[in-house]
Structure 1
Amino acid sequence: MNIDKIIEIIKLFKPSFYNKITWTIVIAGLALLGTPLFEKILNAILEKEYSITITDDKDSLIGVLLVVIALIYSLITSYFEKYLLHKQASLEKKSIIEKDNILFNKFLKELPSNGSIEFLKTHSFGDSFQLEELRQIMDFQCEWNNAEYEFINEDLEIIRKELYENISKFIYKNSMGSYSQRNGWFSTIPDNCQGEWDLPKQVIEKIEEMNDLANKVVESHQELVRLGRRILNISNLNNQNNISKEKYIKKDKELFEKFLLCLPTEGTIEFIRHNDFYNMFRDSKIEPLHKIVRFWNSAEYKFLNENIEIYKLNLIEKIKLFLEEISDKTFYINDEFEFRQLNKKYNSYEQNMNNAKVLNNLADDVYKAHQEFIIECNKELNK
């Protein structure tokens, strides 16, 4: 039996005029509590002439009972109606969240942080690009502009519309200002300016405009992902039972397992822990660190547990610093971009030793942050 049917049953015992019924019973009860003068005179006459009375000694007790019954009736009907209405509103809210959750998961599947969004985040439109890289945002523009793809939650819907508008602006500007080359390649730079070092002012402005529009798409996308996770997941934790909390822990456990597949202690972490960066090394040894920075700083890879997320962000920051110094202090020594080493040719021995020391220290920081993150995950996810 659902809540609506229960409320209808309650209304049978609590009609719209139930206050009048309550007051009628109360007045009747109060009337029996007190015996008016004319009733006493009438009782005395009837008892003397016919040995009967119209009231007896139990009238006061009956009066009290009527008053108590009336009050209990009023309290019970009022309480249950309010409780059931509250329960009904709660179920309706839950239903709305579930519907938005389904749509949000569809959004994450069709427009994830990797793919077109990652391309817009990392690509400079001064370079050529393949149109297929924009396929996901073009599909989003075609499909996500009708009522079926609107969030019920107003805050989510505002950001969804903002994202849609930013994508539409970007696609329009791209269609108006990009030039087809060959085999699906496009460029913001016209053919007559290809290969030139000093590009015309209007071309530079066009490139900057495209990069700016791409950044706005990425920002609004990430804002929608963060807001969706917060509204549809984390905000409900305080109102959920242990089973629901286990559900959120399960999500973080799955994300942690995915992280360990990307960056386990064995492999890259062990390498940077023991390697002396004064020596030559393979660039592929640190490639997983680039992937962590590229993907794991997006909203989709955010842990619901705040403590774990703090440790993850700290690790990413340490990795960024390490990679920045690697890029600044080393270079590729072959055309296959396979091996790197310090810029020994242009620096003194002392400078190279100092540079190697900086890299080794930063590598130690990455290792420590990685281990602290794993320890925190094991602690929080196995409580």
Structure 2
Amino acid sequence: MEVIRKVLKWLEKLIYFIMAVFAVIVYTPEYYSENKIGFLKDLLSREISMSISLLMLLIIVFIFIWILIKVFFRYDTILNNYKKQLCEIENKNNNKKLDEAVFKRLKDVLPYNNVRNFLKDKDLGNKFSRENLEMIYNFLSEKDNPEFKFKNKEIEVLIKKLNKKLTELTSLLGEYASTVGNTEMLRIHRSLKSHDPVLYSKIIREANNTATEAWNNYHKIIDLGRENFGDIN
């Protein structure tokens, strides 16, 4: 096999040489001397003999055979590359379908309008609904679920950042928020405002900042999801 490859390499160089010579003959402009017909014009104006025609035919056939041999010996490589490309396309399509399902589930667990109202628009120094925390807890409960992970690495990185910020937020609110009367509303302990106003302001500021950071990550996830998967309902 190695000998054959060396022969093919030699033939390849020979064919390149023949093609170069042929190109020079065909494309090189003729030289006109004074009151004389150029060499190429004189040569091409003569009748082509049978032997020259046969030689040209043999060259063409030889080149064609060389191409077939090259293709034959590279068949496995070409076929493997083609199969590899097909596998990559198939895997990419499969991963996209899986991510589409996860993206739809994410939007069901964290509805856009609800998340925006709580994380972006709400001042956590005021009252907020218990449903907002339950929504976040439902999302965080999926953190270790392998079926709730994106194949898209960029989105998955943002999901982890969102998990981190929402965990910080729920931890903060879980420690410093309490129920308002007999309602389903919560707020930062009012007693803290009189006992330790500095800490009270700090907790509200941290809660709002963490909520804003979580919102920014969530919004990027939605933007990337729409860019990659379109509007999925």
Compute the TM-score of the two structures, normalised by the length of structure 1: 0.42
SS for the counterpart of 2:186 is: strand
Aligned residue number for residue 123 of structure 1: 122
1:207 to 204, 207, 215: 204
1:225 to 211, 222, 225: 222
1:161 to partner: Cα distance:
0.2
SS for the counterpart of 2:113 is: coil
Aligned residue number for residue 187 of structure 2: 187
Alpha-carbon separation, structure 1, partners of 2:198 and 2:131:
28
Q: Indicate the RMSD between aligned Cα atoms, in angstroms.
A: 3.2
- Give the conservation status (yes or no) of the 8 Å contact 2:115–2:215: no
Do the aligned partners of residues 24 and 202 (structure 1) sit closer, same or farther apart at CA in structure 2, a change above 3 Å counting? Answer: closer
**Mapping for residues 10-49 of structure 1, pairs under 5 Å:** 20=2, 23=5
Aligned residue number for residue 103 of structure 1: 102
Residue type at the aligned position of 1:23: R
1:213 to partner: Cα distance:
1.3
Matched residue pairs, number? 181
Compute the TM-score of the two structures, normalised by the length of structure 2: 0.65
Residue type at the aligned position of 2:186: F
In structure 1, stretches of 5+ residues that fail to align are 1-18, 30-59, 234-247, 252-299, 301-383
Alpha-carbon separation, structure 1, partners of 2:109 and 2:3:
60
Do the aligned partners of residues 92 and 192 (structure 1) sit closer, same or farther apart at CA in structure 2, a change above 3 Å counting? Answer: closer
1:96 to partner: Cα distance:
1.2
Do the aligned partners of residues 97 and 68 (structure 1) sit closer, same or farther apart at CA in structure 2, a change above 3 Å counting? Answer: closer
Alpha-carbon separation, structure 1, partners of 2:98 and 2:120:
30
- Give the conservation status (yes or no) of the 8 Å contact 1:22–1:71: no
Please list the CA deviations of residues 107-146 of structure 1 after superposition, one character each: whole Å capped at 9, or x if unmatched.
1121121124422222112212221232211110112333
In structure 2, stretches of 5+ residues that fail to align are 12-57
- Give the conservation status (yes or no) of the 8 Å contact 2:192–2:199: no
Residue type at the aligned position of 2:89: S
- Give the conservation status (yes or no) of the 8 Å contact 1:22–1:70: no
- Give the conservation status (yes or no) of the 8 Å contact 1:170–1:213: yes
Task: Point out 4+ residue stretches in structure 1 off by more than 6 angstroms.
Answer: none
1:93 to partner: Cα distance:
1.4
- Give the conservation status (yes or no) of the 8 Å contact 2:179–2:186: yes
Alpha-carbon separation, structure 2, partners of 1:118 and 1:21:
74
1:21 to partner: Cα distance:
8.7
Residue type at the aligned position of 2:212: N
Higher relative CO (CA 8 A, sep ≥ 6), structure 1 or 2? Answer: 2
Alpha-carbon separation, structure 2, partners of 1:220 and 1:68:
55
**Mapping for residues 1-383 of structure 1, pairs under 5 Å:** 20=2, 23=5, 69-183=68-182, 184-191=184-191, 193=193, 200-230=197-227, 232-233=228-229
Please list the CA deviations of residues 297-319 of structure 1 after superposition, one character each: whole Å capped at 9, or x if unmatched.
xxx9xxxxxxxxxxxxxxxxxxx
SS for the counterpart of 1:187 is: strand
- Give the conservation status (yes or no) of the 8 Å contact 2:124–2:208: yes
Q: Identity percentage over the alignment?
A: 18
SS for the counterpart of 2:141 is: helix
